[in-house]
Structure formats: structure tokens, C-alpha cells
Amino acid sequence: MSSSITSRSSCRSSRSSSRSRSSSSSSSSSRSSSSSSSSSSISSRISSSSSSSSSSSCSSSSSSSSSRRSSSSSSSSRSSSSSSSSSSSSSSRSSSSRIVVVVIVVVVVVVVVVVVVVVVVVVVVVVVVVVVVVVIVVVVVAVVVVVVVVVVVVVVVVVVVVVVVVVVVVEVVVVEVVVVVVVVVVVVVVVVVVVVVEVVVVVEVVVEVFIVVVVLVVLVVEIVVLVVEVVVVIVLVIVVVVVVVVVVVVVVVIVVVVVEVVVVVVVVVVEVVVVAAAAAATAAAAAVVVVVEVVVVVVVVEVVVVVVVVVVVEVVVAVVVVLVEVIV
């Protein structure tokens, strides 16, 4: 703009100078009447040439000013187009950056949700496996304990019965052997006594036959025989009584032994039943405790799963809020 103003002012000054020159030449030609027409023509040519040169310079200055205006307008249009392009590029960059942020946030949320779901699934699977293994182990241990208790009880009962039977048999056999020995001894003694008595009787007969003279001796022998017979009768009675007493004692001993065997068997059976009941009660209590522990573990796992789901929901809500804020 300043160059155009300068060119306009120079144009005006050149025009005014040309005008002044023409006027001065005309005045000088009018004053000097002695000058010839050639000088006036020369001066007119000079003034015309100067005016033409000034006009040409004005036209050139005006054309340069117009070219400068066109260049300034084109530069202003270029600057406006560049500013519009820069604004569009900046807006496209901001939109692309928002899209990138949204994509990153969505990917992070998806990864967090997948990780949380995988962790929850792994925890649930591990807890279920542990619970199943614990239940199986408890059931197997309870079954093994019951089987061992039953086997031990059966072995104890068999051993006790065998011992009792052996004791009873031994006692009965010993008693019978003693009774037989005593009876045999008594019978032998009685037989010996009878034989002796018979021998004495035979001797008495022989003495009576062959020694009639010895009446006193015979009488004495008879007295002795009578005494011996009385003693034999008494001994026989005593033997009979002893045998009866021994038989009664054997019967009583057998009854007592049978009663003792029955009592021992009853006591052993009662103890076995009590032990089996205690073992069954212990196994049932252990199974109940294990079931309660399993239920508690399952409840805790469910609470953990609920907490994890709540945390995931809160994270998703927070991410959605952040996405909404970023998009807005």
C-alpha cells in the first residue's frame, strides 16, 4: 500500500513538473519575441517528451501498483486457504486423537474384564476341585476307618471266642481228667481193699479149715474181718459220696464256666457295639464338619465372586463415564 501511495505521489509530482515546464517554456517564448519558431518548437517537443515520459512512468507505476495489489490479494487468499487447511488438519488431528484415546480405553476395559473373568473362573474351578477332593478324601477316610474298626472288632471277637472256647475246653478236659483219675484211684483202692478182704476171707476159711484149734485166732480174725468189712462198707459209702460230690462240683464248674463265657461274650459284644457306635459317630461328626467347611468355603467363594463382579461393574461404569466425558 505504501509503495502504491509513493508511486501516486511521484506521478502527481511529475505531472506538475511537466506542467510547470510547459508553462515556463511558453512564458519564455512569449517574453523573448526575438526567438525563432524553431526554439519554440524545440521547447514544445521537450515538454511533450517530458510529459510523455511522465505519463509512461505513471502508467508503469500504476501497473506495478495493480500488480502489487493482485499479489497481495493472492497472498491473502493463500494465507486464508492455509489457515483453513491448518484448522481442518488440526480438527482432523483432534478427532483422530479422540478416536485413538477411545480405542485405547476400550481395549484396556476389555482386557481388565477378561482378566477379571479368567481370575474368577480359575478361583471357582480351584475351589470346586478342592471341595470335591476334600469330600472324596473325607468319605474315603470315613469308609477306611469304619472298615478298619469292623475288621478289628471282628478279629477281637474271633480271638476272644477262640480263647474262651480254648479255656472252656481246657477246663472241662482238666476237670474230666481229674475226675477220671480220682474215680480210677478210688476204684483201684476199693478193688484192692476188696481183694485184700477177699484174701483175708480166704485166709480165714483156710485158717478155719486148717486151724480149728486156734479158736481165739479165728475169733480175732473174724473180728478183724468184720471190722474190715465195716470199713470197706464205710469206704464204699465215702467213695460214692465223693463221686457224687465230684460230679456235682464238675457240673457246677461247667455251669460257672458257661456263665463266665456268656458274660465275657456279652461284654465283648457290648464293647464292640460301643466302639463301632463311637467310630460311626466320630466318622459322622467328621463328615458333618467337612460338609460345613465345604459350605462355608462355597459361600466365601460366592461372596468373592460377587465382590469381583461389583468391582468389574464399577470399573466398566467408570470407563463408560470417562469415555462419555472424552467424547463430549
CA-nearest of 265, 284, 266, 286 to 276 is 284
Q: What is the dihedral of CA 309, 313, 319, 324, to 10 degrees?
A: 160
- The Cα–Cα gap between 85 and 67 comes to 26
- The Cα–Cα gap between 240 and 242 comes to 5
Domain boundaries, the chain: 2-95
pLDDT tens string, the chain, 328 residues long: the values are 444 444 455 445 444 544 444 444 444 443 433 333 343 444 444 444 444 444 444 444 444 444 444 444 444 444 444 555 555 555 566 667 778 877 888 888 888 888 888 888 888 888 788 888 888 887 888 788 888 888 888 888 888 888 888 877 777 777 677 777 877 887 788 778 777 777 777 776 776 667 667 667 767 777 887 887 788 788 888 888 888 888 888 888 888 888 888 888 888 888 878 887 887 788 778 778 877 887 887 788 778 878 888 888 888 887 788 777 777 6
Query: What's residue 51's pLDDT?
Result: 42
Query: pTM surpassing 0.75?
Result: no
- The Cα–Cα gap between 107 and 109 comes to 5
Whether 47 and 21 have beta carbons less than 8 Å apart is answered as yes
At 212, is the secondary structure helix, strand, or coil? coil
- The Cα–Cα gap between 327 and 230 comes to 142
DSSP 27-73: HHHHH-TTS-HHHHHHHHHHHHHHHHHHHHHHHHHHHHHHHHHHHHH
- The Cα–Cα gap between 209 and 224 comes to 18
Could you say which DSSP state residue 328 is in?
-
At 213, is the secondary structure helix, strand, or coil? coil
